[in-house]
Amino acid sequence: MRPLADLVGPGPTAPATVAGLDVAYAESGDRLAAAVTVLDARTLAVVDRAVGVGRPAFPYVPGLFAFRELPALLDALEKLTVRPELLVCDGHGLAHPRRFGLACHLGVVTGLPAIGVGKTPLVGEWDPPAARRGAWSPLRDGGEVIGRVLRTRDGVKPVFVSVGHRMSLDNACARVLALTPKYRLPETTRTADRLCREALAAAC
DNA sequence: GCGACAG
DNA sequence: ATCTTGTCGC
């Protein structure tokens, strides 16, 4: 599927809606809840939301993460009534050992523009970006630039941004900064995180 | 062989 | 991902 990913874009510069996706797991590991929240890209208000609950379809194996979370995320995506113009994934896109992380997989399967925003690295080397919000440094692996280490808050640990599908790296970083007016992680990720935890608790 | 390893 | 404990800062 890797050749099917559009790593150029540039994708929408002013999307009307942006979606956040996340998954929560039961402590026992036998249940999970996936959530998608769709935000108005200008006001960051949630305009649609959907969840999918079930059992993990695959064990957690670094590099094969999509096989674990993608099925439940697709379930949730199908329940949306609003078609988001961009998917902001909790995990990497191009910044993957075989250059096809969750964000690429989700983008190709849905056909929607997608980007990956990881909290910790999976592959690559980088220099720490300057302390100011907006500062960044290239994430490199095997002689190629696979993403960007982006500071979304002054003096706070940066996030790892990479292209998923139908988006340029420049635009991906601009979208992430637009989604982080107050906290380290995008508002899309934060609302989806709360929703999947809530859905998991409700699905007792 | 050893260490690393998105969530 | 999940859980715990303690510290720092607004």
Query: Integer distance in angstroms from CA A66 to C1' B7?
Result: 10
What do you get for the CA distance between the two ends of chain A, in Å? 36
A124 pLDDT higher than 90: yes
A118 pLDDT higher than 90: yes
Q: Which pLDDT band, with edges at 50, 70 and 90, does A204 fall under? A: confident
* Alpha carbon separation from A123 to A8, A140, A141 (Å, rounded): 21, 8, 7
Is A22 a known ligand-binding residue?
A: yes
The mean per-residue pLDDT over the stretch A36-57 comes to 96
Query: Per DSSP, which regions of chain A are E strands?
Result: 17-25, 32-40, 46-54, 87-90, 114-118, 136-141, 144-150, 159-165
Query: Integer distance in angstroms from CA A110 to C1' C9?
Result: 42
Pick the CATH number of A2-123+163-202 from 3.40.50.720, 3.40.50.300, 2.40.40.20, 3.30.2170.10: 3.30.2170.10
Judge contact between A48 and A37, C-beta under 8 A. Answer: yes
A73 pLDDT higher than 90: yes
Number of residues that make up chain A: 204
Nucleotides of B under 7 A from a protein CB: 5-7
Q: How many helices (H) and strands (E) does chain A have?
A: 4, 8
Q: Which of residues 100 to 129 on A have a Cβ less than 7 angstroms from any strand C atom?
A: 119
* Domain map (residue ranges) of chain A: 2-123+163-202
- Looking at residue A4, what is its pLDDT? 98
Tell me whether the omega of the peptide bond preceding residue A181 falls within 30 degrees of 0, making it cis. Answer: no
* Alpha carbon separation from A151 to A29, A87, A121, A158, A161 (Å, rounded): 33, 20, 14, 4, 10
Query: Integer distance in angstroms from CA A124 to C1' B1?
Result: 23
Q: Which nucleotide is nearest to A56 (CA to C1')?
A: C1
- Looking at residue A145, what is its pLDDT? 97
Is A127 a known ligand-binding residue?
A: no
- Looking at residue A120, what is its pLDDT? 96
The mean per-residue pLDDT over the stretch A97-119 comes to 98
Q: Please state the φ and ψ torsions of residue A111, each to the nearest 5 degrees.
A: 80, 0
Q: Which pLDDT band, with edges at 50, 70 and 90, does A174 fall under? A: very high
- For A63, which DSSP code? T
Query: Integer distance in angstroms from CA A23 to C1' C1?
Result: 8
Q: Is A190 helix (H, G, I), strand (E, B) or coil?
A: helix
Dist. CA A202–CA A93, nearest whole Å:
31
Dist. CA A167–CA A177, nearest whole Å:
15
